[in-house]
Amino acid sequence: MKANIVTLPGDGVGPEVTAAAVAVLEAVAAHYEHEFAFDEQLIGGAAIDATGEPLPADALDACKAADAVLLGAVGGPKWSDPNAPVRPEQGLLALRAALGVYANLRPLTVHPALADLSPLKNEKLKDVDVLFVRELTGGAYFGAKTKTADAATDECKYTVAEVERVTRRAFELARARRRHVTSVDKANVLETSRLWRRTVTRVAADYPDVTLEHQLVDSMAMLLLTRPGSYDVVVTENLFGDILTDEAAALAGSLGLLPSASLGEGSNGLYEPIHGSAPDIAGKGVANPVGTILSVALLLRHSLRLEAEAQAVEAAIDHVLQHGPRTRDVGGDAGTVEVRDAVLKALADYAATHRSYFDGARACG
């Protein structure tokens, strides 16, 4: 197939991990006979430096017209002055809003070879398989903001429609998994969370084959570490989802491992690792590219509908995590490029081994 993919390398380690992920997409195109066209655009601090804007109009137009968008990371100390008139992160939030990608899927699994890196030394860790569905275009991130010399506010607002659509997405996803949804809120304190809980409960009635439990976010932060194996799909609002998924990354072994897919109603989507620009390691060539490469697998699956290719990328990552090389954050001493090259080799081996199956499937239409 032909596909136009916009890349937004951004700041810090963003360009390093994006380059590795693009190499994987190019390899997928070569092995499976697709034509992927890449269009690199500016976002974040790099865009502020070049244009004064964190999301230039050209970049936004290209993203809207693309089949999929792959992002590295935005932000960094250079642009983090609290008095700065414009911030890199605004570009990312504006992009999410403009693309209407309200459902942010953040899958968490724990590779058996990395289970020792987790804060929990639990043999059941390898069975952890959680899909976080984070509401991405509402809540405190997008409410009205006020600022005076001695006070500031961030309005947190949710409408029933916003909660309902992400809840339906979570239940649909649960149907293809273990049919259990945990909805996380703070309904004992927040009015938005009570609206959230009422709406989730009502929508759940349309999915009698899926079980629902509600969990308050503070206790969820603890339970995620003490019994992560009991969760299947976890749906929650924007800010809680941001925090819980970074916590979840500790179970996997590193923030550098987790991918994400941000989806709306159309097939276009935004794909990015859940980590940030990692200023402490930027420019050193040691960033873990696995979260971004796994985001490529999600891009292939959700936007391009290339399931076999998505599985090939996941199998290649699985092989490399098992056998190495690994970056420092996961106990190795390899650089980003060495890991990329190992993934490319594993992908080539996988494609060669599965070639007859692939050709047969294509011959059948």
Ligand X SMILES: NC(=O)c1ccc[n+]([C@@H]2O[C@H](COP(=O)([O-])OP(=O)(O)OC[C@H]3O[C@@H](n4cnc5c(N)ncnc54)[C@H](O)[C@@H]3O)[C@@H](O)[C@H]2O)c1
The residues annotated with a catalytic role in the active site are: 141, 186, 218, 242, 246
Q: Report the greatest alpha carbon distance in the chain.
A: 68
Residue 281 binding target from Mg ion, ligand X, ligand IPM, none, CB below 5 to 8 Å by type: ligand X
Residue 279 binding target from Mg ion, ligand IPM, ligand X, none, CB below 5 to 8 Å by type: ligand X
Cβ distance to ligand X smaller for residue 102 or 171 = 102
**322 CB-side CA count, 13 A:** 8
Residue 262 binding target from ligand IPM, Mg ion, ligand X, none, CB below 5 to 8 Å by type: none
Binding flag, residue 93, ligand X (CB under 6 A) = no
Distance of CA 193 to the CA centre of its chain: 24
Which residues within the stretch 61-80 sit at the binding site for ligand X (CB under 6 A)?
73-76, 80
Q: What is the DSSP string of 181-200?
A: EEEEE-TTT-HHHHHHHHHH
Residue 91 CB: number of other CB atoms within 10 A?
28
Task: Show the tokens assigned to 186.
Answer: 């703070």
Rounded distance, CA 61 to CA 55, Å? 10
Residue 259 binding target from ligand IPM, ligand X, Mg ion, none, CB below 5 to 8 Å by type: none
In DSSP terms, which residues pair with 131 in a beta bridge?
107, 233
Binding flag, residue 8, ligand X (CB under 6 A) = no
Binding flag, residue 242, ligand IPM (CB under 6 A) = yes
Cβ distance to ligand X smaller for residue 99 or 203 = 99
Binding flag, residue 154, ligand IPM (CB under 6 A) = no
Binding flag, residue 234, ligand X (CB under 6 A) = no
- Total binding residues toward ligand X, as defined by CB under 6 A: 24
Q: What is the DSSP string of 74-110?
A: ---GGG--TT-SS-HHHHHHHHHHHHT--EEEEEEE-
> Of the candidates 71, 55, 15, which has an alpha carbon nearest to the alpha carbon of residue 272?
71
With contacts defined by CB under 5 A, name the span among 22-30, 185-193, 223-231, 242-250 that binds Mg ion. Answer: 242-250
Binding flag, residue 242, Mg ion (CB under 5 A) = yes
Residue 15 annotated as binding site: no
With contacts defined by CB under 6 A, name the span among 7-15, 86-94, 211-219, 226-234 that binds ligand IPM. Answer: 86-94
Binding flag, residue 318, Mg ion (CB under 5 A) = no
Residue 54 annotated as binding site: no
In DSSP terms, which residues pair with 135 in a beta bridge?
103
Task: Show the tokens assigned to 183.
Answer: 């909805």
Which residues within the stretch 181-220 sit at the binding site for ligand IPM (CB under 6 A)?
none
Residue 247 binding target from Mg ion, ligand X, ligand IPM, none, CB below 5 to 8 Å by type: none
Task: Show the tokens assigned to 162.
Answer: 């916003």
Residue 325 annotated as binding site: no
State the nearest-atom distance from the C-beta of 95 to ligand IPM, in Å: 10
Rounded distance, CA 80 to CA 147, Å? 17
Residue 237 CB: number of other CB atoms within 10 A?
28
Cβ distance to ligand IPM smaller for residue 274 or 317 = 274
| Cis peptide bond prior to 119, omega within 30° of 0 | no
Pair 110, 310: CB distance under 8 Å: no
Binding flag, residue 276, ligand X (CB under 6 A) = yes
Distance of CA 77 to the CA centre of its chain: 23
Query: Which positions lie near ligand X, rule CB under 6 A?
Result: 13, 17, 73-76, 80, 89, 92, 254-256, 272, 275-281, 287-288, 291, 329
Query: Which positions lie near Mg ion, rule CB under 5 A?
Result: 242
Query: Which positions lie near ligand IPM, rule CB under 6 A?
Result: 75, 89, 92-93, 242, 274, 276
